[in-house]
Structure 1
């Protein structure tokens, strides 16, 4: 999939963030060629600002700005109904970093010695609007669809079995509907079921397509009995990419060593990686393990 952030910059809203102190962040909102909002906010207020302005880009000068807010914040961004691209402005290309002060001088022709957080947030948006920086890839290029029961039948009673059957039928019906949509559009996916006692309580799709594509075909559901959520999948390792890049050209480095791989599939998938002499190189188990993640693990040790 070709990702061209530059095309977004002319029409999009950009949020600049810089750490103010331990629990607060300076922010600036850039839209239609000017700063439309700025201030200091905590992580909760920052999330509300994101929901309000729906920025397509968050501009930072160091990835720790996002990591400082926490993994929960990254997970919240993954569940938003729109896609946000994270750009580290100071990483002018993957592997090449320059100070923000120098960038402001070179690209904006403003001579500054030391930037405070409020000014940093503003300059980040201005530089990002010019297409400066690298994409911080916080999410895998795949999407998770979770279908789960919204109510519990654990209280028992005469109607418990009937409730369980009704919920299981509802979950199965939604799963079948989603499968038909994905199959009709030839979108690849893995499907995992989870049962409680003898009844189906939830199912998870790992869809090998972006959240934007998935949400264009399937909508979230929040009803009294079943909830369907759609979210991006956070990556385990942070990677950078040029603002204009094509994922089809990105090659995974694979060692020349041949390995033997044992796989125990299921809701919790187990992997055992051995060399040709039978020595154990790595053991792994993970819930709802996608094929992409399994391949990433295996290719760290060989092919």
Structure 2
């Protein structure tokens, strides 16, 4: 295991004038490998390059000023590197107190010594892991540059970028599938591919086989999803050993101190059962000694002691009130019950204090002192405990010459164990009764849950059916509205067709269909409304914006003639006239026929229209003769030019 331990030499992350300088100790598999000074920037570079298992600090305030900066710092760490605060989480302790648990001493004024100690205790399992992210990771694949406004190659450029985003997202998806991770994907389509693809992976960041990436066209951002607040997770799975004092009665007092005499827990309540007391102590730690302030341990305290298989302690004579006041003077409490429980715990600690001190002198640095104390109090030899914890076989002890004494000790131990077995059997019977009553209560609650769940499922099914029917009704209403609009359009079209039919049946009138402009869009709109067929007469309100394609389309459709409307100022455009003559489609000005226009339809005098078309046809014949003459003259000139070239080559 590779560990980085750091401590501030000078400066601060809160200072604008002097940035922090850290003492850095590198430790690998329990051995110090390097010592150096680094800035915060250099520290981040080293973390990215070496990816240690643990970055250990005594306070996260040395690397971040607030929670936002701490989130950013944790986000910048390599996925496999954990941030550990060796002095605890919500309830912090001093570094000397943490080091004393492992029998480690150091100079508190030397930052290098503190950094070394931080690395050592982190390697021994001390502290809490700082957790800022959920077990969910967000991966965003997006463009690294904007397509911009662009020029001629803009479409090709945008297609290249969006295609790169799509290709990268597919590679990441294959990696996630290969790792067997569950994920959700959201794609934003764009021209030629995707502009953005977001993955929500249901796994912590260190399990995701994708890293942040920045390329020429594509960038990938991998980030864990933040928790609402920073969470501290205890690294060591073993709870701390406690010395517990209990004061039973109508109001139960509970007190717990650690093996160094520090107060860990103090409370009292009038409504606590034995199971509540056991649960509260279990949350606080692991009781090693259960003590009472009276000489004869009460039965209720004895039951709790047996629940934890703890060592009993009672004073030689019941504690006097003056003694209780002296013992609890450095602490604050709210009532006499808390005072009595605390005095019982402190009296038990005081009776073992000298033994704890002697053990600490004989234990080498780097060994869990609390575990050694607990084992020695339970009757194990110190040499054997140290050998077990350090992996060294214990030295063989000389056989005692007095075998009779050994047999006597063994007999006493057997008697003691028999009594313990009887007490434990009674306790097991009590627990089985409690378990039976709780099973009955659990079954009753489960039946209630099943009833509630059945009613809820029935209501949900009914709501789902109603929602489906509402959606069908809304769809039918929308379909009805669309059909009504279509019917109104058909009715208008029928009225126009009737008007045209009435004009057609008139003896002196010819119907015309009106174009808003001589463009393809106007022709398409008129065709959809009333249709354009062979032999129709079209009236174009405006000829501006015409094109040869629309003239060709009208000639192909078999239109008989086109009337240039009144909104065309002066004579029609000569190029427009030439286009109509080339398509052999009559173009008649409105002044010759005097069309009567009403909306999308109208009428002209049949005689005037026929006369205007005859005039156009006469002019068309003259146009064809001129074209033929120009063609013959062009051929003659070409022939003469070729002959001149041949004469010059022959001469």
Confirm or deny: 8 A CA contact 1:15 1:30 kept in the other structure: yes
Residue 65 of structure 2 aligns to a residue in which SS?
Answer: helix
The answer on 1:86 being equivalent to 2:83 is yes
The 8 Å contact of residues 13 and 53 in structure 1, kept in 2 or not, is answered as no
How far apart, CA to CA, are the structure 2 residues paired with 1:77 and 1:175?
A: 25
- Cα shift readout 1:61-93 (whole Å, capped 9, x = no counterpart): 1221232398567536535554211111111xx
Q: Does 1:200 align with 2:194?
A: yes
**RMSD of aligned C-alpha atoms?**
3.1
Deviations 1:81-140 (A, max 9, x none): 54211111111xx5543210122233133265x343332211100000001111111222
- State the shift of 1:172 in Å: 2.3
1:239 and 2:239 correspond = no
Partner of 2:216: 224
Q: Within 5 A, what are the aligned runs for 1:67-82? A: 67-68=64-65, 71=68, 74-75=71-72, 77-79=74-76, 81-82=78-79
Distance 1:138 1:150, change over 3 A: same
- Given the alignment of the two structures, is residue 16 of structure 1 paired with residue 5 of structure 2, yes or no? yes
Aligned-residue offset at 1:141: 2.0
3-state SS of the aligned residue for 1:97? coil
Partner of 2:166: 172
Structure-2 separation of matches of 1:189 and 1:137: 22
User: Which of 98, 101, 104 is the matching residue for 1:103?
Assistant: 98
Worse-matched range after superposition: 225-234 or 181-190: 181-190
Shift of 1:196: 7.6
Question: Corresponding residue for 1:146?
Answer: 140
> How far apart are the structure 1 equivalents of 2:186 and 2:73?
23
Asked if the contact 1:18–1:117 (Cα under 8 Å) also holds between the matched residues in 2, the reply is yes
User: In 2 relative to 1, CA 33–224 (structure 1 residues): closer, same or farther, beyond 3 Å?
Assistant: same
**CA distance in structure 2 between the partners assigned to 1:198 and 1:177 by the alignment:** 17
The 8 Å contact of residues 107 and 127 in structure 1, kept in 2 or not, is answered as: yes
Distance 2:47 2:3 in 1: 10
The one of 59, 62, 73 aligned to 2:56: 59
Secondary structure of the residue aligned to 2:45 is helix
Provide TM-score, normalisation by structure 1: 0.64
Structure 2 CA distance, aligned partners of 1:219 and 1:41? Answer: 26
Deviation at residue 184 of structure 1 after TM alignment: 6.2
2: CA distance between counterparts of 1:98 and 1:76?
Answer: 23
Map of 2:21 onto structure 1 = 25
Match of 1:163?
157
Q: Quote how far apart the aligned CAs of 1:170 are.
A: 2.5
**Whole-angstrom CA distance in 1 between matches of 2:215 and 2:166:** 15
Aligned to 1:280: none
SS in 2 for 1:67: coil
Q: Is 1:137 aligned with 2:131?
A: yes
Please name the residue that 1:279 is paired with: none
Q: How far did 1:37 drift?
A: 2.5
Structure 2 vs 1, CA of residues 54 and 177 (structure 1 numbering), >3 Å: closer, same or farther?
closer
Alignment check: 8 A CA contact 1:60 1:87 kept? yes
Q: Are residues 67 and 236 of structure 1, via their aligned partners in 2, closer, same or farther at CA, if it must alter by over 3 Å?
A: farther
By percentage of residues, which structure has more helix? Answer: 2
| Structure 2 unmatched runs, 5+ | 13-18, 238-651
CA contact 1:43–1:69 (8 Å) conserved in 2 = no
Q: Which runs of 4+ in 1 moved over 6 A?
A: 195-199
Number of corresponding residues: 229
1:122 maps to which residue? Answer: 116
Q: Map 1:222-301; keep pairs closer than 5 Å.
A: 222-243=214-235
Q: Please state if 1:214 is matched with 2:208.
A: yes
Q: Give the drift of 1:155.
A: 4.6
CA change 1:115–1:205 in 2 (3 A) is: farther
CA distance in 2: counterparts of 1:21 and 1:132, whole angstroms:
27
Question: Aligned partners of 1:108, 1:244: CA distance in 2, in Å?
Answer: 17
Shift of the alpha carbon at 1:231?
3.4
Is 1:40 equivalent to 2:44 in the alignment? no
Q: CA-to-partner distance for each residue in 1:139-168, whole Å, 9 max, x for gaps?
A: 222222221222332151111122212222
Separation of aligned partners in 2, 1:155 and 1:60: 50
Residues 56 and 185 (structure 1 numbering): CA distance in 2 closer, same or farther, change over 3 Å?
A: closer
- Aligned partners of 2:5 and 2:118 also within 8 Å: yes
Q: Secondary structure at the match of 1:110?
A: coil
